[in-house]
Chain A
Amino acid sequence: DTGVSQDPRHKITKRGQNVTFRCDPISEHNRLYWYRQTLGQGPEFLTYFQNEAQLEKSRLLSDRFSAERPKGSFSTLEIQRTEQGDSAMYLCASSSSEIREQFFGPGTRLTVL
């Protein structure tokens, strides 16, 4: 068990570019969550997958954001036409059930110039 991993750890991009982040959950976990954490704030929920199904999306997730989990294993989060307001830490978490602990990855820090 290597824990939840995220790639890349840091991403700097120019406004208007597209970026994609990857999350690899703990292998036996079928639930995967994405959160966004801005400076001075706690993480805020973005979206949730159970296996490959995306079951919930926050209103924070605008049309420029899309997330997938094609085979129920790793997940990707894509941001199109990035804006400076997208600068944040994007956290991924996984768990084995709704009531069990969520294990967090190290996050991807996005900076949009």
Chain B
Amino acid sequence: AQTVTQSQPEMSVQEAETVTLSCTYDTSESDYYLFWYKQPPSRQMILVIRQEAYKQQNATENRFSVNFQKAAKSFSLKISDSQLGDAAMYFCAYRVLPRSTLGRLYFGRGTQLTVWP
């Protein structure tokens, strides 16, 4: 079974500080992609960052970076210099590459991030 676990239902951070959101996943596949999506209140989900499992180097996108530990099946998101606009629900997701799954995404239950001024 393909599962994604986000153990932190809620997190909070002070503006300009750093916060790390946790994610673990379970798969027997070796080739897959990992994603963090952001869903602001009443707005559509947007991609924050992606990581290819075959790449050892951790992905970074401006203030967002990941810590990808393939052996541990862990994929955490670090947000540096947090801004008020970062407040949202964050979903960890992954997609396996074998064609039988046709690209569907498997999501965790999300972490609600609050940013305090």
Contact = CB atoms under 8 A, between A and B. Distances in A.
A98 interface: yes
Given A33-B104, A48-B102, A41 B97 contact: no
B44 A107 contact: yes
B105 interface: yes
B64 interface: no
A105 B44 contact: yes
Nearest to A42: B107
B102 A42 contact: no
Contact of A101 (B50, B97, B102): B50
B107 A106 contact: no
Given A42-B4, A42-B91, A91 B104 contact: no
A91 B47 CA distance: 15
A69 interface: no
Nearest to A95: B103
Contacts of A106: 43-44
A42 B44 contact: no
Report the contact-size class of chain A (Cβ under 8 Å from the partner).
20 to 34
Contacts of A101: 47, 50
Interface of A: 3-4, 31, 33, 35, 40-45, 48, 50, 55-56, 91, 93, 95, 98-99, 101-107
Given A43-B45, A99-B103, A102-B105, 14 more contacts: A3-B44, A4-B44, A41-B110, A42-B4, A45-B104, A45-B105, A45-B106, A48-B104, A55-B102, A56-B102, A56-B104, A98-B103, A106-B43, A107-B44
23 contacts: A3-B44, A35-B105, A40-B109, A40-B110, A41-B109, A41-B110, A42-B4, A42-B91, A42-B93, A42-B108, A43-B45, A43-B105, A43-B107, A44-B107, A55-B102, A56-B104, A98-B97, A98-B99, A101-B47, A104-B44, A104-B45, A106-B43, A106-B44
